[in-house]
């Protein structure tokens, strides 16, 4: 990496860290340089002052589950466009899923993704390594080489596919213990979901689409928490979506099993009723479930059973989405709406505080990905001397989502036309603004005044 360019300094005046008491905060030299009671820090001329009396400061958000599509599907998203969308959503780090072409199953491919992400400069990119060669579920990929590579991979997943073979899953769990890695499982029993198009239930029966039973997710989670207990290793459950899955995680944690779980923003707010219009924007894996499941995942997130919110940002081209339901790809975008959905479902409803939001969208995902220490720490507390990875949110703002105006290269947001609360006003990556006044700031313009 090149030497740090001389950076603009920012004075955030009257800002509320984690929604608590207001302070003045000075960002300089890539870190939080000073913290003082509101109204006591004054600019000395060469500081950009941000009047933040209406804003909340959170640690830069960390996504444990992003699909950036590069290499291979740059027509849907690139590392550049995907991380720009991340910055707009308030993220300063993303974990890039392994289901690219070629698959991220070697040190060479993960290093390439890591390097392109670093050069793009919008957010730290931490490649996820594949568990199996080619995501084929038969041979273990070179996990150790990916861990030892420049990308220092700690999260491994065949996401998009389930690591179904219990022997392979066991070996993977055993292998990653050596470097404190974690296996992130896409829990989907393949035989129980053959040809499945949506959640199995009343709606699937009424509209005649093949259903996907909750037990297909729960059976794998049950097996894997027991395997994790047996092996004494870390398991992470991707995009948990059913009430039964929440119960299983609650049980496993009470038993002392080292398991963490994520829920996506869309599973916190959308239900399978949306499939009635046969609009493939609502086709996703795992499928949107029932209102009772939505209530259960909200409760699980509020009580800490579910550790984090992860976007599962899954961009797809128009050709792959603008077709008949059964032919369409699974997946929806999410980086630019995640924080708003969490605000609406969890904060505005009184179930969580902004400090809780910082935990589920920054601190905890950074801890699971083991990126709180090392060369580019993330998910750190907002304290003097810590890296200035910060997002400023205006919680009183209301916006209508317009997919065509988003920073992602794909238009498959399920929230188009919907009004959502909250707006990311600014994002700082180690003291450099990647978003200002809600607008992305091209990192290529980093020398001199970014505006
Ligand atoms: N979530 C999805 O519906 N799709 C993801 C794969 C995945 O997360 O399982 C994708 O890569 O498109
Ligand atoms: Zn998945
Ligand atoms: Zn995914």
Distance (Å) from CA 68 to ligand 3 centroid: 10
User: Which residue among 335, 368, 401 closes a domain?
Assistant: 368
Identify the H or E element spanning 73.
none
Distance (Å) from CA 99 to ligand 2 centroid: 10
State yes or no: 428 annotated in a binding site. Answer: no
Q: How far apart are CA 169 and CA 158, in angstroms?
A: 11
Among candidate residues 442, 390, 399, the one with its CA nearest the CA of residue 17:
390
ipTM > 0.90 (yes/no): yes
State yes or no: 68 annotated in a binding site. Answer: yes
CATH number at residue 32: 2.30.40.10
Q: For the chain, 451 residues long, give each residue's pLDDT as a single digit of tens.
A: 444 555 899 999 999 999 999 999 999 999 999 999 999 998 777 899 999 999 999 999 999 999 999 999 999 999 999 999 999 999 999 999 999 999 999 999 999 999 999 999 999 999 999 999 999 999 999 999 999 999 999 999 999 999 999 999 999 999 999 999 999 999 999 999 999 999 999 999 999 999 999 999 999 999 999 999 999 999 999 999 999 999 999 999 999 999 999 999 999 999 999 999 999 999 999 999 999 999 999 999 999 999 999 999 999 999 999 999 999 999 999 999 999 999 999 999 999 999 999 999 999 999 999 999 999 999 999 999 999 999 999 999 999 999 999 999 999 999 999 999 999 999 999 999 999 999 999 998 754 443 3
301 lies in the same domain as 390:
no
284 lies in the same domain as 405:
no
199 lies in the same domain as 294:
yes
Range of the domain at 240: 60-368
121 lies in the same domain as 102:
yes
Number of domains in the chain: 2
Q: How far apart are CA 346 and CA 350, in angstroms?
A: 6
Distance (Å) from CA 284 to ligand 1 centroid: 7
314 lies in the same domain as 416:
no
- Residue 239 included in any domain: yes
What's the sign of the alpha-carbon dihedral 302, 304, 306, 309? positive
Tokens representing 443 are 């990192």
- Residue 450 included in any domain: no
Among candidate residues 132, 184, 124, the one with its CA nearest the CA of residue 152:
124
Among candidate residues 241, 260, 236, the one with its CA nearest the CA of residue 169:
236
What's the sign of the alpha-carbon dihedral 60, 88, 125, 67? positive
Query: For 329-392, where are the alpha helices, taking DSSP H only?
Result: 338-342, 354-358, 364-368
- Whether 184 and 64 have beta carbons less than 8 Å apart is answered as yes
CB atoms within 10 A of CB 402: 12
Q: Compute the 3-state secondary structure of the chain and give helix, strand, coil in percent, each to the nearest 5.
A: 35, 20, 45
Edge-to-edge strands, sheet with 91-96: 61-66, 91-96, 124-127
CATH number at residue 114: 3.20.20.140
Which ligand has the nearest atom to the CA of 332? Answer: 1
State yes or no: 236 annotated in a binding site. Answer: no
Task: Kindly list the protein residues that place their beta carbon closer than 5 angstroms to ligand 3, a single-atom ion.
Answer: 159, 312
- Ligand 1 pocket, CB under 6 A: 67, 99, 159-160, 186, 284-285, 312, 314, 330-331
Q: Report the nearest-CA residue for atom 10 of ligand 1.
A: 314
């Amino acid at each position: 990496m090149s030497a740090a360019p001389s950076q603009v300094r920012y004075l955030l005046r009257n800002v509320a860290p984690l929604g608590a008491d207001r302070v003045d905060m000075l960002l300089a030299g890539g870190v939080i340089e000073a913290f003082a009671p509101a109204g006591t820090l004054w600019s000395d001329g060469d500081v950009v002052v941000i009047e933040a009396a209406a804003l909340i400061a959170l640690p830069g958000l960390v996504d444990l589950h992003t699909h950036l599509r590069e290499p291979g599907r740059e027509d849907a998203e690139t590392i550049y466009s995907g991380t720009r969308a991340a910055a707009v959503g308030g993220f300063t780090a993303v974990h890039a899923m392994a289901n690219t072409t070629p698959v991220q199953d070697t040190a060479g491919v993960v290093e390439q993704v890591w390097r392109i992400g670093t050069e793009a400069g919008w957010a730290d990119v931490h490649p996820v390594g594949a568990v199996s060669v080619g995501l084929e579920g038969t041979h273990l990929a070179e996990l150790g080489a990916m861990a030892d590579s420049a990308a220092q991979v700690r999260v491994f997943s065949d996401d998009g596919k389930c690591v179904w073979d219990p022997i392979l899953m066991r070996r993977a769990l055993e292998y990653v213990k050596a470097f404190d890695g974690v296996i992130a499982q896409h829990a989907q029993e393949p035989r129980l979901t053959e040809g499945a198009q949506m959640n199995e239930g009343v709606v699937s029966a009424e509209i005649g689409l093949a259903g996907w039973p909750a037990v297909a997710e729960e059976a794998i989670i049950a097996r894997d928490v027991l395997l994790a207990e047996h092996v004494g290793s870390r398991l992470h459950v991707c995009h948990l979506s059913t009430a039964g899955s929440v119960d299983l995680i609650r049980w496993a944690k009470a038993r002392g099993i080292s398991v963490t779980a994520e829920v996506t923003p869309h599973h916190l707010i959308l239900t399978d009723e949306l499939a009635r219009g046969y609009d493939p924007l609502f086709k996703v894996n795992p499928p949107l479930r029932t209102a009772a499941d939505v209530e259960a995942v909200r409760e699980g997130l509020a009580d800490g059973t579910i550790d984090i919110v992860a976007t599962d940002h899954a961009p797809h081209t128009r050709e792959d989405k603008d077709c008949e339901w059964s032919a369409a790809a699974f997946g929806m975008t999410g980086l630019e709406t995640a924080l708003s959905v969490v605000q609406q479902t969890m904060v505005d409803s009184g179930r969580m505080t902004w400090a809780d939001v910082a935990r589920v969208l920054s601190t905890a995902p950074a801890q699971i990905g083991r990126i709180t220490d090392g060369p580019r720490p993330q998910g750190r507390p907002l304290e003097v001397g810590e890296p200035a990875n910060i997002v400023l949110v205006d919680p009183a703002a209301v916006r209508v989502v317009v997919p065509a105006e988003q920073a992602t290269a794909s238009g498959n947001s399920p929230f188009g036309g919907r009004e959502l609360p909250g707006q990311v006003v600014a994002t700082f990556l180690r003291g450099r603004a990647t978003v200002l006044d809600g607008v992305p700031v091209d990192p290529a313009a980093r020398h001199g005044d970014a505006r």
